Structure 1
Amino acid sequence: MQVYITDFGKKKEDIGLVAEVDKKVVGAVWVRIMDDYGHIDNDTPSFAISLYKDYRGFGIGTDLMKEMLRILKDRGYKQASLAVQKSNYAVKMYQKTGFEIVGENGEEYIMLCRL
């Protein structure tokens, strides 16, 4: 997990967004170019996203993903990637936001979104 957070914000390609409800952070999405499970190449940011369980299913994660994809496109990135467990309910949400399954390894899908 350290690859997702160690020294986050020190590189120009580190970008993060949070979602708030009643001034409480309920979720976050962040990207960075890193050698994680979803790594495609050194020009493709990898996604990480997390929401508190009570706030899932309301479109918050979808909105965070869409906004981050917009930011990445505006910054000139051509694609973004992520890895997700095959059994994770969020696979469908990722597909709705433009990600496609481009590979798999064991229990995970590797997904790519062209911007």
Structure 2
Amino acid sequence: MDYAVRALTVDDEPVVWEMLQYASHEPSLDSVQKQPYLARYASSWGRVGDVGCVAIRDTASIGAAWLRLWLEEDKGFGYVNDVIPELAMAVLPDYRGQGVGTRLLVQVLDMAKEWFPAVSLNVRADNPVVRLYERLGFITVPGSEIVNRTGGISFNMLCEFE
């Protein structure tokens, strides 16, 4: 499959919103935007500490991976500390299993190494992407397991850079 990957810009906020809908398993963009704890992952994209990339096929976005820094008083689901950004990513269903997610994750981690000591994330325990995260160096943060908003189990993972 032919597609390109490029850095996200401040003009890509609509792309981040679209991919957040898929990352959060929500049925609509409106549903994401009405939930402040989800909306903050896309709102005002391009602020200090925002880093990411998008996969594009023809002229359409097919996936994205992005990082956001949080302060403890406004922490995201995968918060570890104020200097480690949290990863969010999604690939459109028709493009999953074709290496798009791997390529996006490798690229965003390479970008992150220039600025941050590590990257964190929060993931549902039953999500098959856990294997990808482990393959690329993420480890489970002990004691981070919680009952998530859907009643399942989620936990944090961390990828530390050398």
Q: TM-score range by the shorter chain?
A: over 0.9
Q: 1:83 aligns with which of 90, 113, 122?
A: 122
Listed one character per residue, the Cα deviations across residues 44-103 of structure 1 (whole Å, up to 9, x for unaligned) are: 00000011001001111111111111111122x111000000011111111111111113
> Which secondary structure state, in structure 2, belongs to the residue aligned with residue 5 of structure 1?
coil
Larger radius of gyration: 2
How many aligned residue pairs are there? 113
Mark the runs of 5 or more structure 2 residues left unpaired by the alignment.
1-37, 148-152
Letter of the aligned partner of 1:87 in structure 2?
D
1:63 counterpart residue number: 103
2:158 counterpart residue number: 112
Write the distance in 1 (CA, Å) between the matches of 2:107 and 2:137.
12
Identity %: 33
Mapping of residues 11-90 of structure 1, within 5 Å: 11=48, 13-34=49-70, 35-75=75-115, 77-90=116-129
Question: RMSD over aligned Cα, in angstroms?
Answer: 1.0
Q: Which has the higher contact order (CA 8 A, sep 6+)?
A: 1
- Between Structure 1 and Structure 2, the one with more strand by share is 1
Q: 2:139 aligns with which of 88, 95, 100?
A: 100
Residue 16 of structure 1 deviates from its aligned partner by 2.0
1:4 counterpart residue number: 41
Moved over 2 A (4+): none
Q: TM-score of the superposition, structure 2-length normalised?
A: 0.67
Residue 23 of structure 1 deviates from its aligned partner by 2.7
